[in-house]
Amino acid sequence: MDIKNALLVDDSKVARFTLSKLLRGSNMEVSTAGSAEEALDLLSNSDRPDVIFIDHLMPGMNGVEAARAIRNNPVTAHIPIVMCTSGKSAEFEETAHAVGVDVILPKPPARDGVTRVLEKLRAMPEVEPVTVSEESRVPPANDPDIPLLTEDQVAMAARAEVKSQISEQLHERLTHLFDEQAGYLRQGMDEHNSLNTTLINEKLAALEAILDVHQKAVARTVTREVNELLKKLLSQHQRDTVQAMEKQATDRNTFLLEELDRQRDQDQEFWKSLQADTLHQATEAARQQAEQVARHLDELAANRRRKSSRNAYIGVLVASLGIVGVSLAWMNDLLPF
């Protein structure tokens, strides 16, 4: 079903304004009426709307009676009817649907509720004209089965009925009015809170942007100062490191020189001891050799007494002494080779 324009029937200007705003927000054209009688007059004299939103409790003809009249009129019987009411009882919904109401919209209406109602109406097929059965007629006054009442009894019954109807309608009307105004007040407060929330969010966003700018500026300043401090600390650390390395190098050089001197002293003592041992060994070897030579000479002398002479013996002895002298000279580094 195509829903493009609506007729809004409500005796409350606030209710008409609120619902009209929601419907226009859904890209619909809206016409309004302040009573059921005015609405019926508009339906008979102007273009027919695609949907009728009608309040339940109104002065004069109420919403249920108006819905019955709309359904009984073949010209308007096909138009979907949405009953706007704060009453949510199952009995009322049954009564409303019985007279031809298609959808019931709780008051005060919410945007999502109106959206759901419009979606439901657009999903409905075209409504065929419906004629509501007439109420049962009152039996004729001359019916012999009905006892006749006196004028006083009729007057008393009428007054009692009027009082009952007035009390019931007054109570229902006051309750409806209180619920309706409370609902509009809550809706207004919700819209006000939503607006305040939006403004607060905008302010917070602006403050966050300002804070972000200040944070970036502070970050740049802090970064620059930290870099300068790090440069100073690095330069001082480099100087301290160089001094420490120089001191370590000096101490190590001193230690190495001392070690070299100590090693040289040890080497000198070792060489002196080695030379002394070598000289002693050479002397001992020369002595042993001389003794061997002497023994050999003795043996030669004994074996060749007659063949050798004193000069040969002396020559051998001189040669032995020469060898010992050469050895001693070599051990004392006196020879050039």
Got the DSSP string for 119-135? Answer: HHHHHSPPPPP--PPPP
Q: What 3-state DSSP class applies to 90?
A: helix
Per-residue pLDDT tens digits of the chain, which is 337 residues long: 788 899 999 998 888 998 999 999 888 999 999 999 999 999 888 678 999 999 988 888 899 999 999 999 888 888 999 999 876 678 888 888 899 899 999 888 888 889 999 999 888 886 554 444 444 333 444 444 545 555 655 565 665 556 555 655 665 566 666 666 666 677 777 777 777 788 888 888 888 888 888 888 888 888 888 888 888 888 888 888 888 888 888 888 888 888 888 888 887 888 888 778 777 887 887 788 778 877 887 777 777 776 666 666 677 777 878 887 777 777 666 655 5
51-55/81-85 β-pairing: parallel
Burial class (CB in 10 A: 0-12, 13-18, 19+), 26: middle
Please check whether residue 54 is in contact with residue 83, taking contact to mean a CB–CB distance below 8 angstroms.
yes
Q: What is the enclosing helix (H) or strand (E) of 159? A: helix 151-303
Both structure tokens of 156: 């008393």
Cα within 13 Å of Cα(48), Cβ side: 12
